[in-house]
Amino acid sequence: MLLLLFQSPLISPISTRTSFPLQPLTAGLRGLGVALLCLTVLLTGGWSLRPPSLPAAPAIAPSTPAGALQEVAPPLPVQQLQDRLAEHQPQLRILTPTNEAVLPAGPWELQLALDDWPLVGPGGLGIGPHLVVQVDDQPPLRLVDPGANGSASTSLQVTMAALNPGSHRLSVYAARPWGEAVKSAGGFRQIRLHRVAPNPLQIPPPGSAQLISAIPADLLTAEPVPIDWLLVDAPLQQLRDDDRHWLLRVTVNGDSFLVDRQTTLWLKGLRPGSNAVQLELLDGLGEPLNPPFNSLVQEVILAAGGGSRWQQGRLTELELDQLLGQASPAEEPAALATDAVRSDPPPEEAANPGATAPEPVPEPIPEPERDDDPAPLEPLAASLTP
């Protein structure tokens, strides 16, 4: 019975030699494998539909002034004044208007409060320590108060010109007699103001890096020239070796160099007349940082010869007191007379450059009745009085 079953035409025995059509199956498996391989490569980032990226640009390094430019030490009077002002730590506040205020049309009032910083206003030796008020990139407004010697809190109220519609930056900082900004936490304040309506694209976004020029072009007439600036919300750097997140490119009359420290630079090599100075804030790779706000161009006009008192020789103690608002009223005329005699000494004093004041010569005395004659400073001081 079993034999008949295997011999039945309806059911044939399975032979181990029977061959199946393997060629289509192999081709299908090969295609599936290729598809899986392509999918794996795409998912792992092996291939990309984007063009190949270029190699990362190397970081750039600071450089020294080039061409006709030369970095020099600050003038001796500047160093003297720096030593005397080091004891002051200005604390500045903007009382009104408040940050993000929308101002009405027309002039508006700015109220400031200042502690521990003298405000000495221009005298025979020029302006002393002061405050600078700057709207956007407009020319600075320099504020002084003859009654403020830094020993007490000072309040100031200034009427400011009307603002154009849109958004603006109001920056206020303490400045030294030559216009250099005091770079301390309490010496700088900035608020954002608006007219009609805010325009966020008109000013840098809050918290982004800002470059503010503090080159005192209005106080300069001769070399050396201080190149100064303020950085607001710039990334911290130099926390470790080669940790550089920003650089400043300084270009003077076409000659450029890079710096990575926020220190005032004193330059020589500018020419009499008009000089073009450009400051550009860059990232660590040399690309513009927060453009277009951080590229500034300024004109510095120098005259032939001359220069402010802080660009000349050593200051006397009396001159230091006068520039810092510490000279008594009785000393002021003598200071003026001393300065005038020094700048244009008579022939007999030119042979003795160490003399600091024109003292009356006690001998020879041709007539005894003139022993108590007053010193010949009064006519010179009177001639300087307007």
Rounded to an integer, what distance in angstroms lies between the CA atom of residue 131 and that of residue 112?
10
**pLDDT score of 64:** 92
Place of tokens 């009654």: 147
Query: How far is C-alpha 256 from the chain's CA centre?
Result: 17
Check whether 194 has a pLDDT greater than 90: yes
CATH code for the part of the protein at 70-309: 2.60.40.10
My answer on whether omega of the bond before 58 falls inside 30° of 0, hence cis, is no
My answer on whether omega of the bond before 224 falls inside 30° of 0, hence cis, is yes
**pLDDT score of 235:** 79
**pLDDT score of 317:** 94
Contact between 158 and 141 under an 8 Å Cβ cutoff? The reply is yes
**pLDDT score of 24:** 56
Strands in 116-245 per DSSP E: 130-135, 141-143, 154-160, 166-175, 188-195, 210-213, 225-227, 229-232
Place of tokens 């330059």: 267
Check whether 208 has a pLDDT greater than 70: yes
Q: State the CB neighbour count (10 A cutoff) for residue 171.
A: 22
Tally of helices (H runs) and strands (E runs) in the chain: 7, 17
**pLDDT score of 371:** 43
Question: What average pLDDT score do residues 359-379 get?
Answer: 41
Check whether 355 has a pLDDT greater than 60: no
Q: State the CB neighbour count (10 A cutoff) for residue 250.
A: 21
**pLDDT score of 123:** 81
Check whether 229 has a pLDDT greater than 80: yes
As a whole number, the mean pLDDT across the chain is: 78
Q: How confident is the model at residue 78 (pLDDT cuts 50, 70, 90)?
A: very high
Question: What average pLDDT score do residues 200-224 get?
Answer: 93
Tokens of 297: 């161009």
Backbone angles phi and psi of 380, in degrees to 5: -70, -45
Check whether 227 has a pLDDT greater than 70: yes
Question: What average pLDDT score do residues 62-82 get?
Answer: 94
Give 267-287 pLDDT, tens digit per residue.
999 999 999 999 999 998 899
Query: How far is C-alpha 62 from the chain's CA centre?
Result: 17
The amino acid occupying position 241 is: D
Give 93-102 pLDDT, tens digit per residue.
999 999 999 9
Taking the whole predicted model, whether its pTM rises above 0.75 is answered as no
The 3-state DSSP class for residue 214 equals coil
Domain boundaries defined on the chain = 70-309
Question: What average pLDDT score do residues 158-163 get?
Answer: 96
**pLDDT score of 185:** 87
**pLDDT score of 121:** 84
Give 333-347 pLDDT, tens digit per residue.
443 333 332 333 333
The count of C-alpha atoms lying within 13 angstroms of the C-alpha of 85, restricted to the half-sphere facing its C-beta, is 28
Question: What average pLDDT score do residues 185-207 get?
Answer: 95
